[in-house]
Amino acid sequence: MGLAWQQGPLGKAVGQFLTPEPLPERLLFAEPLRRRMRVRLGWEWIADSEDVVLLHEPGRYPVAYFPLADVVEGALAPETRTTRHKDLGATAWFSVKDVPHAAWQFGDLPAYASILRDRVAFAWRAMDAFYEEDERIVGHAADMYHRIDIRKTSRHLVVRDGDRVVADTKRPLALYESGFATRWYVPREDIDLTALRPVDGQTFCPYKGLASYYDIGSRKRAAWGYPDAWPEVAAVSGWISFEPDIVDVWLDDRKLALEPGQTVVPHGVDRGLDPSELSSTGND
């Protein structure tokens, strides 16, 4: 979750703005990234800028807009394709090094959106990689409003599949992620691992890494974990979390239920990046 994606305040918010008048149905927010960002296609640097603007738009991941002056000369080839953005007007499209529909620019911006004038955005999966300084950023431009905190706790968490106790711990980790319901992670030592059946298919989180899933009895994909979580969330690496709307999860004798902000939209892996390459560094 970030400012505008999923349950963020500019998306399908679980919170509310306390204002006397209703807000517009859609609010866009643009701000300077204040980080050096680079774009690579093949083995060429296509753009390199310390003046990137990040656009937060309801229902979308943040998008980075580069000054045209910081794009390699000749990298952009205008296309005849044009579209229209519901808020920002006419949109011109470009091929980048023979990759079609790989970049776009707003050509007739309203005055209130002048911060995006003379800037171009690159389609994330059309490029081979994006970097902040020398570190690869995977999934989408880093959302400065996305935060994850992990806290130790002595609360009693029990997971049951009918009468079978799948997990019983007094040392779970509480993972708080902006806008999402709390997720509880259990160490493997406190789990009956014979109850977990690994299933094919992984999902990708740009902030945590690749997640693997498990069936529990007849309950499909009732648990998951990050076998090699990224350094920022290393505390949950190898631990298991359980889906309370699929399997019975009790916390201090209170049965957990599905909460707003608990459903997650899966995120695909970047173009040209094999899941096996997503090491614990998250970088090249």
CATH number at residue 76: 2.170.150.40
Higher pLDDT, residue 66 or 13: 66
128 and 173: one domain?
no
107 and 188: one domain?
no
For residue 155, give Cα distances in angstroms to 29, 168, 182, 262. Answer: 39, 11, 13, 20
73 and 192: one domain?
no
123 and 158: one domain?
no
State the pTM of this model: 0.85
- Give me the pLDDT at residue 281, please: 45
- In the listed set 104, 137, 170, which residue is the last one of a domain according to the structure? 137
42: pLDDT strictly greater than 60: yes
Report the range of poorest mean pLDDT among 34-43, 44-53, 104-113, 261-270. Answer: 261-270
Report the range of poorest mean pLDDT among 103-107, 135-139, 187-191. Answer: 135-139
* Residue 133 covered by a domain: yes
152 and 270: one domain?
yes
Instruction: Return the closest-CA partner of residue 168 out of 182, 151, 155, 150.
Output: 155
* Residue 142 covered by a domain: no
- Could you tell me what percentage of the chain is helix, strand and coil, using 3-state DSSP and rounding each to the nearest 5? 10, 45, 45
* Residue 185 covered by a domain: yes
> For the chain, how many residues are written?
284
Stretch 81-89: mean pLDDT, rounded?
95
- Give me the pLDDT at residue 10, please: 82
153 and 260: one domain?
yes
* Residue 13 covered by a domain: no
- Give me the pLDDT at residue 269, please: 62
- Give me the pLDDT at residue 142, please: 84
Residue 154 DSSP code: -
* Residue 255 covered by a domain: yes
Which residues 6+ apart lie within 8 Å of 119 measured at CB?
Answer: 53, 65, 66, 67, 68, 105
Please, which pLDDT band fits residue 283 given cuts at 50, 70 and 90? very low
Q: CA 198 to CA 219: how far, in whole Å?
A: 12
Q: How many domains does the chain have?
A: 2
284: pLDDT strictly greater than 60: no
107 and 168: one domain?
no
Share of the chain above pLDDT 70, in %: 90
155 and 54: one domain?
no
282: pLDDT strictly greater than 50: no
Instruction: Return the closest-CA partner of residue 152 out of 173, 179, 180, 123.
Output: 173
* 243 touches 221 (CB < 8 A): yes
74 and 173: one domain?
no
Report the range of poorest mean pLDDT among 126-135, 228-237, 269-278. Answer: 269-278
Report the range of poorest mean pLDDT among 142-156, 202-216, 256-270. Answer: 256-270
120 and 191: one domain?
no
159: pLDDT strictly greater than 60: yes
Supply the range of the domain harboring residue 41. Answer: 29-137
152: pLDDT strictly greater than 80: yes
Higher pLDDT, residue 16 or 158: 158
DSSP states of 210-266 as a string? EEEEEEETTEEEEEEEBTT--GGGGGGBT-EEE-TTTSEEEETTEE----TT-----
